[in-house]
Structure 1
Amino acid sequence: MKKSMKSLLGVFCAALLMLTGCGQTANHPTTASSDEPLKVVATTTMLADLARNIGGEYANVSALMGPGIDPHLYQASAGDVSLMQQADVVIYNGLHLEGKMGEIFQSLSTRGDHVICIENGLEPSQLLSAEGSSDIPDPHIWFDVSLWKSAAQTVADGLSKADSAHTDTYQANMKTYLTELEELDAYIHSRAEEIPQQQRVLVTAHDAFQYFGRAYGFEVKGLQGISTDAEAGTADVSTLADFIVERKIKAIFVESSVPPKTIQALQAAIRAKGFESVIGGELYSDSLGDAEAGTDTYITSFKANIDTIVDALK
């Protein structure tokens, strides 16, 4: 049934008020009936893919951010807020990944079981912190498959609470997906072992791969901090260039969601010091790839990443 113009205007105004922190959270829509899929809104491409795998036919999933979008810098529009207000379930990462949207999630949190925060399903002992700051968590948890398995459980439990009629399906889908994640984990370990331990050094545009490094035995160096809000200065570039020359690292990597200029500046600094390090390829960091490249799922993007890293460093 089409909404009246008055109703549409009310939703738009409510969204604008929420963006300024002055509005009240809209009433949560009734949970979807047994023959109607849940309306699920996820912030990132990774979470949208996870929700589709767990929700299956009973979840109609939308992602606020598309491929190549940086969640650290993303600012929700009035339309985004309206979309979240009208959803049955909202899923977000937490750990300050969606750094510009904190007030919106705080407002939505009054909806209880219908807002799923992945952070809440993780133990603090599993988390890493930003280099030099124990108070700032590293949000890039999807780069450790074991943590993404915990995220799958969190999403399955959240969807089950929002739509108890299909709990068995959500839990079964989750178990099937966990098997696929275990296969992915084994593949990553197998490919990583093709590189001698001392050569497993991953240099990227920003510090998004620390969980990957911990899980798969790589030393990771990011030119920027864990958030792309931080900017790399000339001293940062020079220091990292010295490290690369000293360790004779053959390849450095750009990221799909970060402009390549910082890595290109690093490559120039390395060359000025008399060493050549190639750009080994583009990695998917804060978003998945797209269907055209065949990397529009978590599993295909992660496989593409490990293949790019290993092939370049070998």
Structure 2
Amino acid sequence: MTCRHIENNVLSNQKRCEMVMSVSSTFSRREFFPWLAVLSGCSTGLSSPPLSRPASIVASTGMVGDLVRELVPPSLGEVITLIRPGVDPHLYRPTRADLLKVLNARLIFSSGLHLEGRMDALFERADRPGRPSIAITSDIPKDLIIYPDDHSGRPDPHVWMDVSLWRATLGLIARTLKDVFPQAQDEITRREAQLSDVLARLDKTVEEMVASIPEPQRLLVTSHDAFAYFSRRYHIPVESIQGVTTDSEPGVADIDRLVDIITSRKLPAIFTESSVNDRGLRAVVEGVKARGHELILAGPLYTDALGEPGSPADTYVGMMLENARQIASILGGSTAPLDRWTQSSGNTHSSSRCLFKSLSPAVKMCEVDH
């Protein structure tokens, strides 16, 4: 297919045609035609939305959207997250509705490092003057990015599992917001400083809880290799039944390897993940049981997606606290550092968000100073 074969109403906008061609190269023919229908029928095209209406700011995942939402004053517009809670971003297929949201956005934020898979081409092609499309991990020093030893050459995208690295993305997000919304520079700067402080405290809390786990039991076994950054930052070895992505099934050798490790260490538990099928881990439990060792299948931990609204993990802060709580308590550590944090209530959007009162009115500061 070439641009000349696209309907006349699309030919009137060369930029839109280029977007169609870029998206078409990412999808099969059957997947592509619904996208073409959207682009052909959409009057917005690739031009930036009018400045007179409230801005629509698109974020790819809940982890990205959570940071952006706390930096954006509510008066500037709405932050829309594309990938829903509990959905695996590695396997996510963007919909026609997603494309329309991107086309109508004033700003687009993604995680980057190939986390979003099929969305990558869409985000790259959406970047244009007046509508930046930013991968927030692009400012992280390259020597801090982990490259798995799987010969793929692709980086591990799970940067948010190290709170200190996720905190380091705030600068790029804030700079981009201030470029697009210069009238709100002071407010965005204030929010950035306060959120940075909260994440620094969160980082310390997670570190203390993991450090309390007795050495013989300090081994985290999960569904897929999403905890490499967590492992490096918080000094806990990690084993998984799948690699960095979830697009392949674990084999018998993968299961047998974990069974050997778990039985030799007499590990008490392994952990499922909220967005990953647990079939492989259940096979591990059966294999361990056959060798006379009882193993708890705990979890879920939250890795590639936040929890459902109203759950303890429905925010980034809540997600990391809930993960640390489960890991520490089940592997024999202490959750005493959580005493500094309390659950905020009466807010379905942020049931466990622990931020400063001076951020958006919907958010409560819930860390207790000692």
Shift of 1:193: 2.0
Shift of 1:111: 4.4
Partner of 2:265: 247
After superposing the two structures, state which structure 1 stretch, 24-33 or 251-260, moved more: 24-33
Identical pairs, percent: 33
Partner of 2:145: 127
Q: What does 1:16-31 correspond to in 2, within 5 Å?
A: 19-21=23-25, 26-30=45-49
Return the match for 1:43 from 46, 52, 60: 60
What is the distance in 2 between the residues matched to 1:56 and 1:133?
43
Shift of 1:262: 1.5
Answer whether contact 1:32 1:163 (CA < 8 A) is retained: no
Partner of 2:117: 99
What is the distance in 2 between the residues matched to 1:310 and 1:103?
39
Answer whether contact 1:31 1:162 (CA < 8 A) is retained: no
What is the distance in 1 between the residues matched to 2:285 and 2:129?
48
What is the distance in 2 between the residues matched to 1:160 and 1:26?
25
TM-score (normalised: structure 1): 0.90
Shift of 1:73: 0.2
Partner of 2:204: 186
After superposing the two structures, state which structure 1 stretch, 217-226 or 18-27, moved more: 18-27
Q: Relative to total residues, which structure has the larger helix share, 1 or 2?
A: 1
Shift of 1:131: 3.0
| Runs of 4 or more consecutive aligned structure 1 residues displaced over 2 Å after TM superposition | 13-19, 21-28, 30-33, 109-113, 131-134, 196-199
Shift of 1:119: 2.5
Shift of 1:291: 2.4
Partner of 1:56: 73
What is the distance in 1 between the residues matched to 2:50 and 2:229?
36
Letter in 2 for 1:46: M
Answer whether contact 1:270 1:276 (CA < 8 A) is retained: yes
Letter in 1 for 2:63: M
Relative contact order (C-alpha < 8 Å, sep 6+): which is higher?
1
Partner of 1:175: 193
What is the distance in 1 between the residues matched to 2:292 and 2:194?
51
Shift of 1:141: 0.3
What is the distance in 2 between the residues matched to 1:252 and 1:55?
38
Partner of 1:3: none
Letter in 1 for 2:47: H
Gaps of 5+ in 1: 1-6
Answer whether contact 2:49 2:105 (CA < 8 A) is retained: no
Shift of 1:120: 1.3
Describe the SS at the equivalent of 1:129: coil
Q: Deviations over 1:92-117 (max 9, x none)?
A: 11111011122212311344761111
Shift of 1:59: 3.7
What is the distance in 2 between the residues matched to 1:250 and 1:32?
57
Answer whether contact 2:105 2:131 (CA < 8 A) is retained: no
Larger radius of gyration: 2
Q: Deviations over 1:185-225 (max 9, x none)?
A: 11111211221234211000000011001000110111100
254 and 26 in structure 1: CA distance in 2 versus 1, 3 angstrom threshold: same
Return the match for 1:272 from 290, 300, 318: 290
Describe the SS at the equivalent of 1:133: coil
Partner of 2:252: 234
Q: Deviations over 1:235-268 (max 9, x none)?
A: 1111111111111111100000011212111111
Q: What does 1:82-161 correspond to in 2, within 5 Å?
A: 82-111=100-129, 114-133=132-151, 135-161=153-179
Shift of 1:37: 4.3
Answer whether contact 2:211 2:235 (CA < 8 A) is retained: no
Describe the SS at the equivalent of 1:95: coil
Describe the SS at the equivalent of 2:157: coil
What is the distance in 2 between the residues matched to 1:237 and 1:198?
21
Count, aligned residues: 305
TM-score (normalised: structure 2): 0.77
Q: Relative to total residues, which structure has the larger strand share, 1 or 2?
A: 1
After superposing the two structures, state which structure 1 stretch, 207-216 or 13-22, moved more: 13-22
Letter in 2 for 1:27: L
